[in-house]
Amino acid sequence: MQTTAPDLIVLHEHPEWQKPLFAALERRGVSFLPFDVSRAAFSNVEPLRARLYFNQASPSAYLRGNTRAVPLALAYMRTLDLLGAKVLNGADVFALELSKSAQATLLRTLGIDCPHSITFNDVRALRAYTEDIEWPALLKPDQGGSGARIQVVESLAEVEAIFERDPNVWLPDNLFLLQEYLPHDPEKGIVRLEFLGGELLYAMRVITHGRFNLCPSPVCNPDDGNGACEVPEQVVDAPPVEFVPFPDVPRDAVETATRIVRAAKLDIGGIEYLDTLDGRRVFYDINANSNLRPSVAAAFGFDPFERVVDFLVDELKKV
């Protein structure tokens, strides 16, 4: 058991997702401690416990029975900020990941093509926007995570029926978006670009086969077989999600994604976009919690978690 103060503390709530990172940190001899925010406490008088903190908490924690992990992680990181700690993917970044509506507004203010989105906490309030809504549309929670609670809807009546049938759909954040549906080539899927320290780490195509759970972790979406994910299957008998290396990602797409990463102040994260059938390139998702895909990175000739450790070691040198 470690008795001295670690150099690094990693906030998390999903031990399986963290195994590759922790193993890489151990191989490199980095002094670190995990901090499981799913069952945790902190006080306002304790001193900083490490030189560097790295947030790996996920908005999807509620799907694993860890609903209270998200507010504790956010409160703890705000406390760390006040104490002057260096926190990678800290409170402001995490708050952005927790809000698809804030992401949509950020993309809009950057002048980047993104889905038209309406945020609501009462379905009746959508009636004021009936002339702005095109059907079908995408219904998604403001606090996303692993594609949970996302579905395609055909009418306002269908949206009303969803919440009347099961009011618990509102939980845990009680906020939803009705978002522009973007038809695209299913054979090309969507594109996810992973960034580390403001630079592109790798790009991949994700062939969804109609699914919304596009978590890159092999725990959730293995290269073959069924994953151990708590998100219910939304598409019955569909092939597994495919993650394909994309070395020829367009330069302008990388440049746009880089602008997003810098505006969002992401230390590590993923940016997603798709090319629509009518020729638009639409960016729609900002992920601060990146479950890196070893098989994709291997196609580019490296271990992604070794690269993350390189980055963490460099950051430790700065504090």
Share the mean pLDDT of the chain: 92
Residue 80 tokens, joined = 């760390």
pLDDT value of residue 234: 57
Q: What is the band of 1 on the pLDDT scale with cuts at 50, 70, 90?
A: very low
User: What is residue 156's three-state secondary structure?
Assistant: helix
CA 57 to CA 160: how far, in whole Å? 32
Higher pLDDT, 232 or 215: 215
Higher pLDDT, 269 or 3: 269
| Domains by residue range for the chain, with CATH | 8-97 (3.40.50.20), 116-180 (3.30.1490.20), 184-316 (3.30.470.20)
CA 82 to CA 71: how far, in whole Å? 17
Tens of pLDDT, residue by residue over 283-316, are 999 999 788 999 999 999 999 999 999 999 999 9
Residues in the chain: 319
Minimal CA–CA distance to 54: which of 103, 99, 94, 84? 94
Minimal CA–CA distance to 24: which of 245, 294, 222, 290? 294
Asked if the model's pLDDT at residue 110 lies above 70, the reply is yes
User: What is residue 64's three-state secondary structure?
Assistant: helix
pLDDT value of residue 111: 98
Tens of pLDDT, residue by residue over 22-63, are 999 999 999 999 999 999 999 999 999 999 999 999 999 998
Minimal CA–CA distance to 120: which of 112, 129, 111? 129
Give the mean model confidence (pLDDT) for residues 168-194: 95
CA 1 to chain CA mean position, Å: 32
Neighbours of 237 (CB within 10 A): 5
What is the residue type of 271?
I
User: What is residue 244's three-state secondary structure?
Assistant: strand
Tens of pLDDT, residue by residue over 225-271, are 555 555 555 555 678 889 999 999 999 999 999 999 999 999 999 99
Residue 123 contacts residue 200 (beta carbons within 8 Å): no
Ramachandran sector of residue 87 (left: φ over 0; alpha: ψ -120 to 50; beta: rest): beta
Give the mean model confidence (pLDDT) for residues 149-171: 95
Residue 221 contacts residue 241 (beta carbons within 8 Å): yes
